[in-house]
Structure 1
Amino acid sequence: MPSLTRAEATARAALLTVDAMEVDLDLDRGPEVFGSRTTIRFTCHDPGGRTFVDLRPRALHAVSLNGAALDPASLAEGRLVLTGLAAQNVLEVEATMGFSHDGQGLHRSTDPADDEDYVYGHLFLDAAPTVFACFDQPDLKAPYTVAVTAPEGWTVLGNGGATVTAPGRTELATTPPLATYFVTVCAGPWASVRDEHDGIPLGIHARRSLGTHLREQAGHVLETTRACFDHYHRLFGIRYPFGEYHQVFVPEFNAGAMENPGCVTFRDTMVFRGAATPDQVLQRSNTIAHEMAHMWFGDLVTMRWWDDLWLNESFAEYMAYRAVTEVTEFADAWVEFGVVSKMWGYAAERAPSTHPVAGSPAPDALSALGNFDGISYAKGASVLRQLIAHVGDEAFTAGVTEYLRSHAFGNGELAEFRAAMEVASGRSLAAWSAAWLETAGADRLAVEHGVLLRTPPADHPADRPHTLDVAAFAGGRELARVDVVAECDRTPVPGLDAVPPGAIVVPNASDLTWAEVSLDAATTDALVEGLADVPDADARAVVWVALLGAVHRAEVDPRTALAVFAAAWPRETSSAVLSRVALLVTTQVVPLFLPPAEQEPALARVADAADELLARAAGIRGDAGSALAVLAARVWARTGSDTDRLRRWAAGDGIPDVLEGDDDFRWGVLRRLATLGRLADDEIEAAEAADRSLAGSLAALGVRAVRPTSAAKEWAWGRLRDDTELSNHAALAVGGGFWVAPDPELVRPYVDRVGDLLVGMSARMGDDALSRVVTAMHPTRLVEEATATASGAILARADLTPGVRRAVVDADHELREALASRRRFG
């Protein structure tokens, strides 16, 4: 089916105004289909003209325009042409729609814990026509009035406040104008906790089987929600405009969360079944703050077209970290931003798919999917921090507020935002915007002989001014810190001449700007002995990001990074740094950049470091010690090779007290046993029987796929290729274990078949879901020239969807980074 082009959207928006949307859904027709009746009231600014409405049903039963019946057979490729439009029009559509199992459209999922069904709507990016007829583009906003018939005993939630009008019948309050992709309905036997704050009704909801965990964690979730509402009200001076505020933790969700006005959906793994480390709680709090920021950036004011996605995501990302830093217990949240979000963003900048923050080409809706990446999120947020350094926080806040007020319930674009900021700051931002927002690429920053060197990328030259600091550390002390504004390629840094040899010198030490940092050779040599003693967590995060980035660029031997990890990681204090660095070392540095013969010895070094951290945690009382113990035990469980200890841990013997009864941790241990070829079928079946949850079912799929046998790989491949009922998360679970193999010959025969597999899956799975599966199923872990050749052949295919192609491009780039490193370092 054709993807809506920008030219088509522009023409349709000039022709139409959508005055009202009325949607009636019948979810009580069984597990496969639902009924959909839509009434669209719209104005045509050129009476007699023609347009089309978007609709992708299982069966179209009846259509009428202004009382005249239209032929349902005229629907073609998801478009129903409308001709002879009047000035005022009423379109009525009755159809049968299909529930999805890929996290897009109206997704239906069965919880194996109790066999209860749940439905939620995720209409991003172009899935709305699979639920109701609509003009599906972000600048044709309209008020929605939604009614839902559902099985008795279900709770129905949506963008408007719910009123039960009869058994199984719920009507939702009419909303302010919404873009189509923000509309949602969440229905099922939810466990719920309700509250109220500042006149706003609040609700948090999850599957009934998660009810106990939801109630235990509700206090913290609601406390964060209240604090963020107060913060945004103070900051913007504009009250939350969408009535009630529900947060629904839903199963098998593709993204982290979605900012549906009044009814935000979250991945339900954020309701923790077991121990949660501080970085996990921070990530949940940050996600709450991020989605709430969208109520203003994205929902109240929506980008006119997808090329201005940054007006949604960059602002929400920046505002979220600002909020959690200022009003929650996570005063060091920017450390997590640096080591998680920015690491993601710098990887996106290195890839061939890099693009500007703003104005990235999006000729059609599906092509925009690839721009939901670390550039639109992390780089955009970093650029906003630089904008504040450029114009001042007062002018920034005033400009943002004016932009929101003047475009409320409408749409905006870069030029309009920039105009508001120029009025507020009293200066032209044309050159600044061109360099920072409209040009791709990250500068490189390095310090040599007391001079800060700025090197723009050759492929994307720009004159980007950087406001930052440079710091030096030695012996556990900060020796110097110099604020710098780098407006040219060489900027003297006074005071560094007094820094002794062997000090750790960190450009951008407070992580204030967007640039890849290159550490000098003396600093790199000093990291094994000195990194753990650097007293500034931001600076340590910058160093880790710089070191791991240099591994990816084939500038630093991966063995050096492993040596720094073994020495510094067990002494780290930041939960975010501990968690993310360990993940990257075990999933990227070891399997991609080290030769196969060195991988198990490298994992043994990681396991030894985890044991060091466990020993350290044992000497720390209270929550801090427990958090370190959880982090250490999780790392050991995925790297240790002592099968006797792994079996004891799987039985709950000898594990830290905080992990007793933690099913997710037990599955992690079982996965490692399976990876080592030490887990039998009956043991997997027994573990599944003991954990009948959705999480347990998915974990069992991954455990089966990771086993190092030809039979296991054949089973996994067959499930991905042939199982038409395989959900998005089930496909991820199977794909995530497939390429793990101590003997490459187990998986080599499948390399040339990946392209056919992905194309076959695209027939039953949308791009939003499948692009994530591509990341798991690309043969990146088989770091061989033949794999690169096969990957290039996939990219040469003409039958890849835009989302799949973009995901393959990024995976191919990571493979080629690993090959370049191995060529250089052996």
Structure 2
Amino acid sequence: MPSLTRDEARQRAQLITVNRMEVDLDLDRGAEHFSSTTRIRFSCSTPGEATFLDLRAVSVEAIELNGTRIEPAAVVDGRLPLEGLAADNTVEVTATMAYSRDGQGLHRSTDPADGEDYVYGHLFLDAAPTVFACFDQPDLKAPYVVTVRAPEEWVVLGNGRATRTGAGEWELSETLPLATYFVTVCAGPYVSVHDEHDGIPLGIHARRSLRTELERHAPQMFEVTKQSFDHFHRTFDVRYPFGDYDQVFVPEFNAGAMENPGCVTFRDPMLFRGAATREQVLQRSNTISHEMAHMWFGDLVTMGWWDDLWLNESFAEFMAYTATSRATEFTDSWVEFGIVRKQWGYAAERAPSTHPVAGSPAPDAQSALANFDGISYAKGASVLRQLVAHIGEEAFNAGVTAYLRSHAHGNGELSEFLAAMEEAAGVELDGWSKAWLETAGVDALALDREGTLRRTTPTEHPADRPHALDVAGFTEGAEVFRTTFTLDGDEATVDGVDTGAAVLVPNAGDLTWAQVDLDEATLAALPHELPLVEDATARTVLWGGVLTGVYRATVDPRVALDVFTAVWPQEPHDALMARVALAFTDRIVPQFLPEAVAQEARGRIADAALTAFEDAEPGTDRALVAARVLAATTTDEDRLRAWVSGRSLPQGLDGDTDFRWAVVQSMSRLGLADDALLDEVEAADTTLSGRLAGLSARAARPGADDKAWAWSEITTNRERSNYELNALATGLWSSGSVDDLRPYAGRYVTDIPRLAEWVGADAHDRVATLAFPSRVVEPETVALVRAALGRDDVPSGVRRSMADELSKLEEALASRSRWS
């Protein structure tokens, strides 16, 4: 079915205005299908003209336009032509729709813990026509009135306040104008906790089998919700406009969360079943704040078209980290941003699919899906930090408020946002915008031992980006200098640099968007000096310099491993501990080191984890992170068998089912998990999480038969959900010799594109990423994937996933070529 193009959207928006949407859903018709009746009232600026309605139904029972019947056969390729329009029009469509299993549209999932079914709507990016007939584009916003019929024991939630009007019958209050992709309905035997803040009714909801976890975590989530509301009300000076504020944790969700006005949906693994580190709680808190920021940037004011996606995501990212660092207990949240989000964004910048923050081409709605990446989020947020440094926070906040008020309940674009900022700041921003927002690429910064700071701009994306930043130096942990300034050329001599400092740190406060090249003396000093540096942000920059140096082939991965084994056991920040370890275990060791030395490297990581585990105070975040890394890397069969049996467990992990599964995953990768063990652990955990972990564990076993089974399940079993496909793909590539895995590189390029026949684009792109043959680091893999990228049968999103993963594999090949 064709994806709506930008030109089509503009033409339709010039012709019609949607005045009201009325949607009636009957969810009480079994597990496969539901009924949808839609009445749309819209006006036409040029009576007599024609347009089309978006509709992707299983069957269409009736269509009427202004009282005249239209034959259902008129719907072709998801479009219903509407001809001879009047000045004021009403179109009514009754259709049968299908529930999805891939996280898009109206997704229905059965909880294996109790057999209960749950439904939620995820209408992003262009899935709304699979739920109701609509004009599916972000600039045709309208108020919605939704009614729902559901099984009598179900609870219904949505964008408007839900009222039970009869047995199994619900009505949602009329909403303010919404874009189609923000509409949601959640229905099922959800359990709830409620609160209120500043006149706003609050609710948090989850599956019935997660009641214990919901009630345990709700107080902290309510606290962050309230703190975020207060922060945004102060910052924006515009009150939250959408009535009740419900947060619903739903199963098998494709994203982290979705900012549906008044009814935010989250992936329910965020309701941690076992022990959770401070970093995990921070990530959830930041996600709560991120989705709330969207109530203003995205929901109140929506981008006109997807090429201004940054007006949604960059702002939510920046505002969320600002809120958590200033209004919650997580005053160091920018540390997590630096080691997690910026590393994600830098990888996106190095990929061939890099694009500008703003104005990135999105010729159709489907192509925009690929730009929900580390550039639109992490780089965009970093660029906004630079804008604050450029014009001042007071002017920035004043410009934001003016923009929100002038575009409330409508749409905005880059030029309008910049105009509001220029008026508030009294400065011209065209040149700044072209350098930072409208040009792709990431600079590299290096501070040498003569005190010269150099900026290297990628030749393929030339730009003159001014960097507001600081540089610092440390010796024996003491900060011996720090200088703040703006680098507005290719190089500058920095006053006040103590060139004798053991460690020189460009961008020490992590304020700008730039990869850091560490000088040789600094890199050599890190094993001794890095543990002594108390400034967590500076350590983030130094760790990041090591990681990006490996990826860019400027740092020998063996040197990086030396730094890791010397420093990591002493790292006090749990986010840095967890994420740096993940970078080594999931990417650097299996990709950048040849198979012959990778096993020794994994042993060194396990030794470092054991050292950290034995040194950490039991029950602390450090102990928990170290235990998890140890469980993932050790080959100590006695320890693994004791832990999986519940013996000698680290403090705080008794009865922690997720930790038990982590141990089982490790045993599977080592070939120590037979069917009897997996059956036993699965029988003890009949939840959705347990089912997924069991699939991943079976796929992780190194035997050829296990790999063949996993690949067959991924590529031929059409009953697998999006989460099951992800679990299988993750497990398959986590173990096995390169010789055994090599055949799946060829099968990847032929089999994965075919999933488009039954898997939605969002889920398909994710599977294409996770199933990529990343362990087969060979030129032949490059040739296979490059050939596939030129084929017409590869969907655009899958092509983007393939190309981005290929760029990572080529980074590993370049590193091996230089350092082996």
Q: TM-score range by the shorter chain?
A: over 0.9
1:142 corresponding residue in structure 2:
142
Give 3-state SS (helix, strand or coil) of 1:659's partner.
coil
**What is the CA distance between 1:310 and its match in structure 2?**
0.2
Give 3-state SS (helix, strand or coil) of 2:91's partner.
strand
1:89-115 deviation digits (Å, cap 9, x = unpaired): 000000000000000000000000000
Given that residues 120 and 187 in structure 1 are in contact (C-alpha distance below 8 angstroms), is that contact kept between their aligned partners in structure 2? yes
Residues 110-189 of structure 1 mapped to structure 2, 5 A cutoff = 110-189=110-189
Given that residues 739 and 782 in structure 1 are in contact (C-alpha distance below 8 angstroms), is that contact kept between their aligned partners in structure 2? no
CA distance in 2, matches of 1:254, 1:684: 26
Please, which moves more after superposition, 608-617 or 224-233? 608-617
**What is the CA distance between 1:824 and its match in structure 2?**
1.2
Give 3-state SS (helix, strand or coil) of 1:43's partner.
strand
What code does the residue aligned with 1:568 have? V
What code does the residue aligned with 2:575 have? A
1:467 corresponding residue in structure 2:
468
CA distance in 2, matches of 1:644, 1:163: 57
2:606 corresponding residue in structure 1:
607
1:774-800 deviation digits (Å, cap 9, x = unpaired): 111110111111111111122121111
Given that residues 701 and 736 in structure 2 are in contact (C-alpha distance below 8 angstroms), is that contact kept between their aligned partners in structure 1? no
Given that residues 471 and 507 in structure 2 are in contact (C-alpha distance below 8 angstroms), is that contact kept between their aligned partners in structure 1? yes
2:731 corresponding residue in structure 1:
737
User: If the length of structure 2 is used for normalisation, what is the TM-score?
Assistant: 0.99
CA distance in 2, matches of 1:376, 1:239: 26
1:232 corresponding residue in structure 2:
232
What code does the residue aligned with 1:161 have? R
1:324 corresponding residue in structure 2:
324
Residues 358-373 of structure 1 mapped to structure 2, 5 A cutoff = 358-373=358-373
What code does the residue aligned with 2:459 have? A
Given that residues 478 and 535 in structure 1 are in contact (C-alpha distance below 8 angstroms), is that contact kept between their aligned partners in structure 2? no
What code does the residue aligned with 2:469 have? L
CA distance in 1, matches of 2:332, 2:288: 17
Residues 786-805 of structure 1 mapped to structure 2, 5 A cutoff = 786-805=780-799
**What is the CA distance between 1:756 and its match in structure 2?**
2.3
Please, which moves more after superposition, 668-677 or 735-744? 735-744
2:768 aligned with 1:769: no
User: If the length of structure 1 is used for normalisation, what is the TM-score?
Assistant: 0.98
1:493 corresponding residue in structure 2:
494
Please, which moves more after superposition, 372-381 or 444-453? 444-453
CA distance in 2, matches of 1:426, 1:213: 50
CA distance in 2, matches of 1:776, 1:276: 25
2:718 aligned with 1:724: yes
CA distance in 1, matches of 2:605, 2:539: 19
Residues 208-607 of structure 1 mapped to structure 2, 5 A cutoff = 208-448=208-448, 449-496=450-497, 498-500=498-500, 503-607=502-606
Give 3-state SS (helix, strand or coil) of 1:276's partner.
coil
What code does the residue aligned with 1:238 have? V
**What is the CA distance between 1:383 and its match in structure 2?**
0.4
CA distance in 1, matches of 2:760, 2:255: 13
1:174-200 deviation digits (Å, cap 9, x = unpaired): 000000000000001011101111111
1:656 corresponding residue in structure 2:
650
Give 3-state SS (helix, strand or coil) of 1:657's partner.
coil
> Would you say how many aligned residue pairs link Structure 1 and Structure 2?
819
Given that residues 51 and 82 in structure 1 are in contact (C-alpha distance below 8 angstroms), is that contact kept between their aligned partners in structure 2? yes
Give 3-state SS (helix, strand or coil) of 2:652's partner.
helix
1:336-380 deviation digits (Å, cap 9, x = unpaired): 000000000000000100000000010001111111000000000
2:750 aligned with 1:756: yes
What code does the residue aligned with 2:705 have? A
What code does the residue aligned with 2:84 have? G
CA distance in 2, matches of 1:102, 1:768: 8
2:691 corresponding residue in structure 1:
697
Given that residues 479 and 499 in structure 1 are in contact (C-alpha distance below 8 angstroms), is that contact kept between their aligned partners in structure 2? no
What code does the residue aligned with 2:362 have? A
CA distance in 2, matches of 1:483, 1:592: 38
What code does the residue aligned with 1:317 have? E
What code does the residue aligned with 2:688 have? L
CA distance in 2, matches of 1:490, 1:817: 27
CA distance in 2, matches of 1:585, 1:751: 23
**What is the CA distance between 1:695 and its match in structure 2?**
0.2
Give 3-state SS (helix, strand or coil) of 1:129's partner.
helix
Unaligned runs of 5+ in 1: none
CA distance in 2, matches of 1:412, 1:713: 49
CA distance in 1, matches of 2:291, 2:284: 11
Given that residues 20 and 41 in structure 2 are in contact (C-alpha distance below 8 angstroms), is that contact kept between their aligned partners in structure 1? yes
**What is the CA distance between 1:651 and its match in structure 2?**
1.1
Given that residues 294 and 316 in structure 1 are in contact (C-alpha distance below 8 angstroms), is that contact kept between their aligned partners in structure 2? yes
CA distance in 1, matches of 2:271, 2:320: 19
Unaligned runs of 5+ in 2: none
**What is the CA distance between 1:492 and its match in structure 2?**
1.3
CA distance in 2, matches of 1:38, 1:318: 37
Identity of aligned residues (%): 61
2:707 aligned with 1:713: yes
Residues 30-41 of structure 1 mapped to structure 2, 5 A cutoff = 30-41=30-41
**What is the CA distance between 1:499 and its match in structure 2?**
3.7
Given that residues 480 and 499 in structure 1 are in contact (C-alpha distance below 8 angstroms), is that contact kept between their aligned partners in structure 2? no
Given that residues 445 and 517 in structure 1 are in contact (C-alpha distance below 8 angstroms), is that contact kept between their aligned partners in structure 2? yes
**What is the CA distance between 1:678 and its match in structure 2?**
0.9
CA distance in 2, matches of 1:617, 1:740: 28
Residues 59-74 of structure 1 mapped to structure 2, 5 A cutoff = 59-74=59-74
Given that residues 28 and 151 in structure 1 are in contact (C-alpha distance below 8 angstroms), is that contact kept between their aligned partners in structure 2? yes
**What is the CA distance between 1:760 and its match in structure 2?**
1.7
Give 3-state SS (helix, strand or coil) of 1:381's partner.
helix
CA distance in 2, matches of 1:241, 1:801: 39
CA distance in 1, matches of 2:415, 2:61: 44
CA distance in 2, matches of 1:762, 1:815: 24
